[in-house]
């Protein structure tokens, strides 16, 4: 895309196929999951630049160092294949990190040249079993997520990596016995570290054993260290993942498109019933989430959550005059967008544009990330009568063009919406991933009654600040 020195990237009149795509790289989502598993190191099968890009994104959002290994493709590898590079990388990573698990994620390059990683892994395992590898005798679990970025988004990589970890570690079979205490599996969706901490609090309040995957609440947002930690503590333990087949139910926040659905796999191979719910943003979605937890566990919803719910309703009443009838442009991951639509509709905001970078079908016509997006959004609406511009495969230039006609009052999404906000002269309420231009993106709470309350306050205050800034006089009561 060409831009003049004084134009923003959104004002270019030249056209290329995608102009500032509203999606991120597929292995990025996979790496996030892998760092959400205890003692697991992500290994990118591709060139160094891919791991640098992903580290850069993660570090800017989480403000923590993130080690991501690479099999380091060079020109010769692209021609002759990356088998030897991968074997060397597995040896090196085993020796230097001593991980419990290595998660391999493919890249555009390794997928384009047709690398058969599952076959390589069988060969590597055979050599490792015979003691032929230079791995100091260390035998971490290895799992592989196929993540071609030209055919998906970071969400596809995210779901695929969960699927790869679960289907590698859980051993289906008749001998699987159900946990007597009613274990529950919660697959968290692409949410913040603070959201994961909230999900832990919610699950703990039901007093049942559980597996929450992925869990980067500590590994990517822990305390400070005196010495560098190559693999910071925290994450879903391998033991807990292995126990997922014994659960009384799996709750999947959001929807994994296509075949890479760990919840469906657990249902099909381990007879663990799958409950798919939308991200618990807003009262309706949070109610549905708590209801399903109550149903699986047979426990009443603990009082403190009921009180949080009442506090949220009270806040809606206090703030309705600031938000009612306002118009919003929202964008981000498909699950996140559906959650936001439901919440905004609930508080009287009209979500005039709901955009995601995911496509609805793959090039082969199979369902992709935003399949059923329109239906999911329509199911979330109870108040809005106006037509919503639902955009899949969206980019920020097209969003701006549509927004000029639809005149939103504010924007909700990650940092990449800054130029939209500037061009349209309306506030950007930062949420989701990535937040590169503010501190604390990893600590934004979006989920449950408390998360919804946080988002509600952020919206009200952004609108109030924008109004305040319109006047020379300093109105201190709004």
Residue 108 as a binder of ligand SF4 (CB under 6 A): the answer is yes
In terms of CB distance, is 50 or 266 closer to ligand SF4?
Answer: 50
Intra-chain end-to-end CA distance of the chain, in Å: 43
Q: Is 161 in the site for ligand SF4 (CB under 6 A)?
A: no
**C-alpha–C-alpha distance, residues 344 and 365, integer Å:** 32
Q: By CB under 6 A, which span of 2-10, 46-54, 173-181, 243-251 interacts with ligand SF4?
A: 46-54
53 or 269: whose CB is closer to ligand SF4? 53
Q: Which range binds ligand SF4 by CB under 6 A, 45-53, 294-302, 341-349, 391-399?
A: 45-53
- State yes or no: residue 77 binds ligand SF4 (CB under 6 A): no
In the complex, minimum distance from the CB of residue 391 to ligand SF4, in angstroms, rounded to a whole number: 21
Q: Which is nearer to ligand SF4, 27 or 234 (CB)?
A: 27
Largest CA distance in the chain: 79
Shortest Å, Cβ 8 to ligand SF4: 23
**Considering beta carbons, is residue 149 or 250 the nearer one to ligand SF4?**
149
53 binds ligand SF4 (CB under 6 A): yes
Options 30, 31, 50, 455; binder of ligand SF4; rule CB under 6 A: 50
Note whether 27 binds ligand SF4 by CB under 6 A.
yes
Q: Which of 70, 85, 94, 149: binder of ligand SF4 (CB under 6 A)?
A: 149
Verify binding: residue 316, ligand SF4, rule CB under 6 A. Answer: no
Quote the distance between the C-alpha of residue 167 and its chain's center: 19
Q: Rounded to an integer, what distance in angstroms lies between the CA atom of residue 135 and that of residue 222? A: 29
Nearest residue (CB) to ligand SF4, 73 versus 456: 73
Q: Does 107 bind ligand SF4 (CB under 6 A)?
A: yes
**Binding residues for ligand SF4, total number by CB under 6 A:** 8
Pick the closer one to ligand SF4 by CB: 89 or 377.
89
Given strand 327-331, what is the order of strands in its sheet?
A: 389-391, 350-355, 327-331, 410-413, 428-430
Residue from the set 10, 22, 25, 355 that interacts with ligand SF4 by CB under 6 A: 25
CB of 52 to ligand SF4, least distance (A): 8
- Least CB distance from residue 410 to ligand SF4, whole Å? 30
Footprint of ligand SF4 on this chain (CB under 6 A)? Answer: 25, 27, 46, 50, 53, 107-108, 149
């Amino acid at each position: 895309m060409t831009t003049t020195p004084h134009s923003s990237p959104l004002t270019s009149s030249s056209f290329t196929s995608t102009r500032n795509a509203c999606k991120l790289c597929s292995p990025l989502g996979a790496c996030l999951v892998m760092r959400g598993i205890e003692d697991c190191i992500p290994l990118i099968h591709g060139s160094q630049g891919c791991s640098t890009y992903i580290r850069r994104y993660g570090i800017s959002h989480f403000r923590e160092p993130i080690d991501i290994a690479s099999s380091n493709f060079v020109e010769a590898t692209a021609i002759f294949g990356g088998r030897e590079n991968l074997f060397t990388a597995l040896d090196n990573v085993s020796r230097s990190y001593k991980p419990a698990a290595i998660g391999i994620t493919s890249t555009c390059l390794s997928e384009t040249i047709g690398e058969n990683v599952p076959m390589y892994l069988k060969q590597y395992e055979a050599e490792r079993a015979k003691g032929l590898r230079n791995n100091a005798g260390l035998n971490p679990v290895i799992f592989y997520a196929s993540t071609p970025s030209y055919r998906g988004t970071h969400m596809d990589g995210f779901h695929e990596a969960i699927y790869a970890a679960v289907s590698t570690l859980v051993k289906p079979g008749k001998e699987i016995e159900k946990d007597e205490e009613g274990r529950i599996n919660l697959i968290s969706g692409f949410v913040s570290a603070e959201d994961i901490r909230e999900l832990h609090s919610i699950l703990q309040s039901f007093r049942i054993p559980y597996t929450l995957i992925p869990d980067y609440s500590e590994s990517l947002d822990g305390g400070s260290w005196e010495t560098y930690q190559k693999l910071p503590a925290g994450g879903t333990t391998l033991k807990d993942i292995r126990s997922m087949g014994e659960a009384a139910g799996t709750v999947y926040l959001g929807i994994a498109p296509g075949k890479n659905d760990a919840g469906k796999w657990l249902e099909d191979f381990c007879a663990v019933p799958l409950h798919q719910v939308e991200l618990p943003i807003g009262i309706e979605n949070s109610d549905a989430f708590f209801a399903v937890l109550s149903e699986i566990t047979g426990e009443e919803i603990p009082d403190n959550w009921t009180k949080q719910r009442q506090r949220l309703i009270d806040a809606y009443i206090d703030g309705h005059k600031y938000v009612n009838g306002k118009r919003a442009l929202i964008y981000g991951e498909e699950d996140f967008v559906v959650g936001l639509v439901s919440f905004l509709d609930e508080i009287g905001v009209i979500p005039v544009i709901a955009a995601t970078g995911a496509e609805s079908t793959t090039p082969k016509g199979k369902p992709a990330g935003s399949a059923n997006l329109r239906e999911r959004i329509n199911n979330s609406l109870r108040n809005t009568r106006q037509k919503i511009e639902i955009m899949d495969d969206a980019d920020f230039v097209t969003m701006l063009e549509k927004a000029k006609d639809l005149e939103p009052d504010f924007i909700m999404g990650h940092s990449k919406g800054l130029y939209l906000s500037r061009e349209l002269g309306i506030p950007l309420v930062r949420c989701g991933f990535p937040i590169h231009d503010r501190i604390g993106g990893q600590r934004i709470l979006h989920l449950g009654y408390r998360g919804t309350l946080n988002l509600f306050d952020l919206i009200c205050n952004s609108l109030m600040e924008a109004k305040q800034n319109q006047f020379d006089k300093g109105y201190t009561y709004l």
